[in-house]
Amino acid sequence: ASALPERTLVEGPYQYVVQGEGPYTILGLLQTIKDGSMALDKVPGLWFKKDGKPVGNAMAEKIKDLDKELPAQAWDLLDMSLYRAHNWHCFDHIDKRQPYASLQTSLGCPYKCSFCCINAPFGGSGIRYWSPENIIAQIDVLVNKYGVKNIKIPDEMFVLNEKHVLGICDLIIERGYDLNIWAYARVDTVKEKFIGKLKQAGFRWLALGIESGSKQVRDGVEKGRFGDVDIDAVVSKIRAAGIYVCANYIFGLPDDTNESMQETLDMALRLNTEWANFYSAMAYPGSQLYTLALQNNLPLPEDWLGYSQHAFETLPLPTATLSGAEVLAFRDKAFKEYYTSPAFLSMMREKFGANVVEHLVQMTKYDLKRKHVPTRSSRQEARV
């Protein structure tokens, strides 16, 4: 909505659309409705229809003091029994995925990865933090009131700022909580001084944006300019500390070829991390790839479902040598090959036991149906 507010308003069944961060706009909208003035043109960041035509106001300013203006999530307004952790987040206690909570400790991202649209709501790159004291106060509530052990930190980049990361870790360690936390990092932000504290504080998983096994492909999207960082060594260092790794890979980035995608899959199989996400490069509105797609008249999804990674309608970007359908077919093949790999299943059995392996076996029995990828039967029919 922040990237394409007018289109969202026109194509969707919406009366209002918020462009930007949200809180100031929603507060302003509620106030103007409550006081009866309906001065919608005075609400920053609000899009609405006037005389049947979409109009929008300039975006609201970003929240400066997160501790003061957004001091805590309203856990009391949620039925906490309805939420459970990702399956992989709890592989060492697969039957105890609840209680669970997602706790934001920062907003925004300082990086400008071409495939990412996260900065669209914020009007640019940058990051703001809640204080470690604020975060530990919320963790206190989650642990002591709701019995939460499984916590996701959905920050775009948690392992980055030393004062923030170590401040939160130290406060958790002081409390002596037994937590199961996962958070995002980059291979070039995982420093030695972080790893021990992260493990001690209960960070059992780190999610790494590796994206591609090809440095040329990574450099082409700004993401992977890791310099001389050895990805294999970083993964080994994290795992040696007793922290599991969720590796993220993307197929179909602009400079990808069939060979470079295979290079990425080969890296994934070699690293053999405890979890791996395989994505197709998508032209998400608000990303540089979306701008590239428009400039080059590349095919885009017909509707919003086409931007989903796992939908029937999913349509990735084509590259110079690959169609979107070929990228998607490779992604689905890579997923199946990774999760049925004997080396992976053997490692998982050793670390997590037979129940988790059976969980994985059941997971890989299902193939995603894809509109743009011919099934085996349809390919056979075409040859006849």
How does pLDDT run across 55-111, given as a tens digit for each residue? 999 999 999 999 999 999 999 999 999 999 999 999 999 999 999 999 999 999 998
Query: Is there a single domain that holds both residue 195 and residue 88?
Result: yes
Query: Is there a single domain that holds both residue 166 and residue 286?
Result: yes
Residue 333 domain flag: no
Query: Is there a single domain that holds both residue 50 and residue 71?
Result: no
Pairwise CA distance, residues 176 & 171, whole Å:
9
Q: Which residues contact 45 (CB under 8 A, 6 or more apart)?
A: 18, 19, 20, 21, 22, 24, 25, 57, 58, 59, 60
pLDDT of residue 225: 57
Query: Is there a single domain that holds both residue 113 and residue 259?
Result: yes
Q: What is the mean pLDDT of residues 231-251?
A: 97
Of the candidates 303, 318, 336, which is a domain's last residue?
Answer: 303
**Which tokens sit at 187?**
């291979």
Rg of the chain over all Cα atoms, to the nearest angstrom = 22
Residue with tokens 């295979």: 262
Query: Is there a single domain that holds both residue 30 and residue 172?
Result: no
Query: Is there a single domain that holds both residue 155 and residue 202?
Result: yes
Residue 294 domain flag: yes
Query: Is there a single domain that holds both residue 48 and residue 73?
Result: no
Q: What is the mean pLDDT of residues 123-134?
A: 94
Assess contact for 85 and 182: CB atoms under 8 A: no
pLDDT over 60 (residue 368)? yes
pLDDT of residue 226: 62
Q: How many CA atoms lie within 13 A of 216 on its CB side?
A: 8
184 backbone dihedrals φ, ψ, rounded to 5° = -90, 150
CA angle 127, 130, 136 (to 5 degrees): 140
The boundaries of the domain holding residue 168 are: 66-303
Strands (E) in the chain, as ranges, are 16-18, 46-50, 53-56, 100-102, 106-109, 126-129, 150-152, 180-185, 203-211, 244-251, 275-280
pLDDT of residue 289: 93
User: What percent of the chain shows pLDDT beyond 70?
Assistant: 96
Query: Is there a single domain that holds both residue 145 and residue 34?
Result: no
Query: Is there a single domain that holds both residue 226 and residue 288?
Result: yes
Residue 363 domain flag: no
Query: Is there a single domain that holds both residue 76 and residue 213?
Result: yes
pLDDT of residue 377: 41
Query: In total, how many domains does the chain have?
Result: 2
Assess contact for 141 and 88: CB atoms under 8 A: no
Mean pLDDT score of the chain, rounded to an integer? 93
Pairwise CA distance, residues 115 & 164, whole Å:
26
**More confident call, 51 vs 229:** 51
The SS3 of residue 2 is coil
Query: Is there a single domain that holds both residue 257 and residue 277?
Result: yes
Identify how many contiguous H helices and E strands the chain contains and give both numbers. 14, 11
Q: What is the mean pLDDT of residues 23-34?
A: 96
Summarised one tens digit per residue, pLDDT across range 208-228 is 999 999 999 998 887 545 667
